[in-house]
Structure 1
Amino acid sequence: MEDWKRVVEPYTRPLFFAHSRMTRGKTLGVRGLVVDERERVLLVEHTYLKGWWLPGGGVDAGETAGDAVVRELKEEAGVIAREAPKLLSVHSNEQFFPGDHVLLFRVDQFEAGDMTSHGEIKNVDFFAIDDLPEDTNRGSLNRINEAMRGFPADPLW
């Protein structure tokens, strides 16, 4: 139904990147590793990208990275953080978008709320780390393995 967004995304990406570069200079993104009481991790499936991802997005002008991850969790997954997010790692996203960096934050204390993003997220769910979807985004999978299984941190997203 919304697969058309995945078809047009590669064509609209350069426009998004150009806009981001003009309004942000170097870009900074955040991803949230939300872990529930059963040690399951939260993943989202976008309408415009293939696979499952850690929720997150760009840091807006005038916004801290911590505020951005809290906002993105609420928008994309309806997750309301009940603690300050903990910075886990910093990664270069040069392969996907030159000049971009992604910060990974962890949130363990949260409650469910309403998603405020409309049309961006197809599915939201928690998964055991031994039962992640086969199409989990490589960068997200790497961050989960680093944070939850003690794998060495890779500076590249």
Structure 2
Amino acid sequence: MLWRRRIEPFTRPLVYAFFRFTRGLTLGVRAVVTDEAGKVLLIQHTYIKGWYLPGGGVERGETAETAVVRELAEEAGVRALSRPVLVSAHSNEVLHPGDHVLVYRVEAWEPCPSDAAGEIHAVGWFDPHDLPEETTKATRRRIAEALHGADSDPMW
């Protein structure tokens, strides 16, 4: 799946243009999940470099809470046992005009089968004070906001 990462810089503008044309305003969700040792859940996609919080787009007819629960199960094999708690909302205007991202915290969860065929390269649990080098800046900021009380930045 490394070929997907190689072509991503070329296909991203096309995908964003398609979303902008067909959706106007888009809404995404991300989840901050920790294990009993306090490690935070991160994922790597097959099509882009870096470690990210699990999440994705909110589909038509779906609530943001339903979307974050669905994305956690699909991408990371994590089933939420408690209602996700909204932590923050962010504009992703710089990378994707018209896009907003909601960040949720999931307190109680259990493992479940993942359905990320071809989308997820790796899933890992990391000390939030010692994240992998490839963890994105936005992911680092969201973790600091959700787990360490940092001020929430309205921009992604």
For the superposition of Structure 1 and Structure 2, which TM-score range results when normalised by the shorter chain? over 0.9
Structure 1 unpaired stretches of 5+: none
What is the distance in 2 between the residues matched to 1:58 and 1:20?
11
**Partner residue, 2:89:** 90
What is the distance in 2 between the residues matched to 1:73 and 1:107?
10
What is the distance in 2 between the residues matched to 1:51 and 1:18?
22
Query: Identity percentage over the alignment?
Result: 55
What is the distance in 2 between the residues matched to 1:105 and 1:141?
15
Report Cα offsets for 1:13-55 as digits up to 9, x if no partner: 1232233234422000000101112111100011111110000
**Partner residue, 1:118:** 117
How many residues end up aligned between the 2 structures? 156
**Partner residue, 1:21:** 20
**TM-score, with normalisation over the residues of structure 1?**
0.95
**TM-score, with normalisation over the residues of structure 2?**
0.96
Instruction: Report the AA paired with residue 138 of structure 2.
Output: G
Root-mean-square deviation (CA), in Å?
1.0
**Partner residue, 1:131:** 130
What is the distance in 1 between the residues matched to 2:63 and 2:57?
11
What is the distance in 1 between the residues matched to 2:32 and 2:128?
12
Report Cα offsets for 1:74-127 as digits up to 9, x if no partner: 111011000110000000001110110000000010000111110111110111
**Partner residue, 2:139:** 140
The question of whether the paired residues in 2 share the 8 Å contact of 1:44 and 1:125 is answered with: yes
The question of whether the paired residues in 2 share the 8 Å contact of 1:32 and 1:69 is answered with: yes
What is the distance in 2 between the residues matched to 1:146 and 1:14?
29
**Partner residue, 1:154:** 153
**Partner residue, 1:48:** 47
**Partner residue, 1:70:** 69
The question of whether the paired residues in 2 share the 8 Å contact of 1:24 and 1:61 is answered with: no
The question of whether the paired residues in 2 share the 8 Å contact of 1:47 and 1:119 is answered with: yes
The question of whether the paired residues in 2 share the 8 Å contact of 1:27 and 1:101 is answered with: yes
The question of whether the paired residues in 1 share the 8 Å contact of 2:51 and 2:132 is answered with: yes
**Partner residue, 1:106:** 105
The question of whether the paired residues in 1 share the 8 Å contact of 2:20 and 2:97 is answered with: no
